[in-house]
Amino acid sequence: MTTESQNRKVSKSAYQAIREFIYQEAGIDLGENKQQLVFSRLNKRLRYHQLPDFDQYADLIKQDTRSNERQIAIDLLTTNETYFFRESGHLDTLKSNVLPKHPPNRVFRVWSAASSSGEEAYSIAMILDDYFGHRVKWEIFGSDISSRIIEKANGGIYQAQRIDAIPRDFLKRYCRKGKGEYEGFLLIDKNLRERTSFREINLTRPLPEIGQFDVIFLRNVLIYFDQQTKEKIIRSLISKLRPGGILYIGHSESLKGMDVPLTLIAPTTYQMQ
C-alpha cells in the first residue's frame, strides 16, 4: 500500500455519507464499523478521479447526475464473494425433495435472487439438466443489483481455480476448457447458458414482471439489511413464489418475527402456504 493510499483514511463524516448513500440506493446498512471495507472497495475510485480524500468522493457520488459513478460505487459496495455449489445441502434437498414432486407438464422455474457473478445459478442449472434431461422443461432467472456483475454472469466464463467444488462428472459435461487467450478459464456449456438469464434488479424496490417461480434462492443477502427492509424484501419475493413453492435463505439468516405465509420445513428452507 502506498503512502498516498495510507493517507486516504475514511473520515467519520465520509463514512456516514457513504453509509447513507448505499442505504438509500440499495437498502444495505453497513453498520457502524465497516470503514475498512469502504476503503478497500472504493480507494481505487479516488485514484481514478485524483481525489485527495473520501469526503470529496462522498460529495461526488452525492452530486453525480451525469456520469455512472453512482452505479460504480453501488457495484463495488454490494458485490459479494460466491462460488459454485455453495451451501450444497440446499442443492441436495432440491434434488431429493423438490424436483421429484414437480408436475412434468409445467416448466420448472428457479430464481437466483442475489446471483452475483452467476455461480449459484449455473450450479442449479447443472442439477436441473442432470435430473430432468429432456423430460421436463426448466429455466433459471438470476438477478443482482450490480450491472457489472450481471454482465459477467451472462458471459458464463470463470477462472479455472474457482471451480473446485463442481462435481467431477458435472465438470466434464457442463464446462468447456478455454484455449488461447482464454487459457486458465472455463466456459459454461451453451445449453445451460441458453436456459439461464440474468437481469439487474434492486430487491428493495418494486419488482418488474418476471413471472412465478417454483423455487427462489435468497442466500446470504438478508444479513445486510435491517429488520424492516428484510421483511419488505421477503414479502416482495414471495409474491413471485407459487403456492407450495420453496424459499431457501442462508444458514446464518432467519425469518424470525416476520408475519409471512411461509412454513419452515427444514433449516433455512421455507414453503409457501
Q: Could you report the per-residue pLDDT of 101-126, keeping only the tens digit for each?
A: 999 999 999 999 999 999 999 999 99
Identify the domain boundary among 15, 50, 78.
78
Check if 199 is active-site.
no
Give the model confidence (pLDDT) of 77-94 as tens digits. 987 778 999 999 999 999
CATH number for position 202: 3.40.50.150
Q: Residue 174: inside a domain, yes or no?
A: no
- The pLDDT of residue 172 is above 50: yes
Given this model, what pLDDT does residue 203 score? 96
Provide the grid cell at 181: 487467450
Residue 259 has, within 13 A of its CA and on its CB side, a CA count of 0
Given this model, what pLDDT does residue 160 score? 87
Given this model, what pLDDT does residue 268 score? 96
What does the alpha-carbon distance between residue 20 and residue 80 come to, in Å, rounded to a whole number? 19
Give mean pLDDT, residues 187-211.
97
CATH number for position 66: 1.10.155.10
Q: What is the DSSP string of 58-122?
A: HHHHHH--SSSHHHHHHHHHH-----TTTTHHHHHHIIIIIGGGS-TTS-EEEEETT-TTTHHHH
Residue 31 confidence class, pLDDT cut points 50, 70, 90: confident
Is 31 exposed, middle or buried, given 0-12, 13-18 or 19+ CB atoms closer than 10 A? exposed
In a shared domain, residues 208 and 74:
no
Given this model, what pLDDT does residue 146 score? 87
Assign residue 254 a region (left: φ > 0; alpha: ψ between -120 and 50; beta: otherwise). Answer: beta
In a shared domain, residues 151 and 258:
yes
Give mean pLDDT, residues 121-132.
98
In a shared domain, residues 119 and 219:
yes
In a shared domain, residues 268 and 212:
yes
Give mean pLDDT, residues 167-178.
95
**β-strands 175-177, 185-188 pairing:** antiparallel
- The pLDDT of residue 174 is above 50: yes
Given this model, what pLDDT does residue 7 score? 53
Contact 222, 247 (CB under 8 A): no
In a shared domain, residues 237 and 127:
yes
- Across the chain, mean pLDDT equals 92
Check if 59 is active-site.
no
Catalytic pick among 75, 144, 189, 214: 144
In a shared domain, residues 33 and 106:
no
Q: Residue 72: inside a domain, yes or no?
A: yes
Catalytic pick among 41, 86, 173, 242: 41
Smallest Cα–Cα separation from 144: which of 221, 231, 69? 221
Given this model, what pLDDT does residue 6 score? 47
Q: Residue 173: inside a domain, yes or no?
A: no
The DSSP code for 215 is E
Percent of the chain with pLDDT over 90: 79
**What domain count does the chain have?**
2
Which of the pair, 147 or 55, is modelled with greater confidence?
Answer: 55
Range of the domain at 41: 3-78
- The pLDDT of residue 162 is above 90: no
Given this model, what pLDDT does residue 106 score? 97
Q: Residue 163: inside a domain, yes or no?
A: no
Q: Residue 183: inside a domain, yes or no?
A: no
Given this model, what pLDDT does residue 111 score? 98
Contact 57, 46 (CB under 8 A): yes
What does the alpha-carbon distance between residue 226 and residue 20 come to, in Å, rounded to a whole number? 13
- The pLDDT of residue 182 is above 50: yes
Given this model, what pLDDT does residue 3 score? 42
- The pLDDT of residue 130 is above 60: yes
Given this model, what pLDDT does residue 201 score? 96
In a shared domain, residues 150 and 225:
yes
Segments of the chain assigned E as strands? 108-112, 138-144, 157-159, 175-177, 185-188, 196-200, 213-218, 241-249, 262-266, 269-272
Contact 263, 271 (CB under 8 A): yes
Vertex 98 angle, CA 196 and 165, to 5°: 55
Contact 175, 147 (CB under 8 A): no
Residue 9 confidence class, pLDDT cut points 50, 70, 90: confident
In a shared domain, residues 70 and 113:
no
- The pLDDT of residue 176 is above 80: yes
In a shared domain, residues 267 and 199:
yes
Give mean pLDDT, residues 194-223.
96
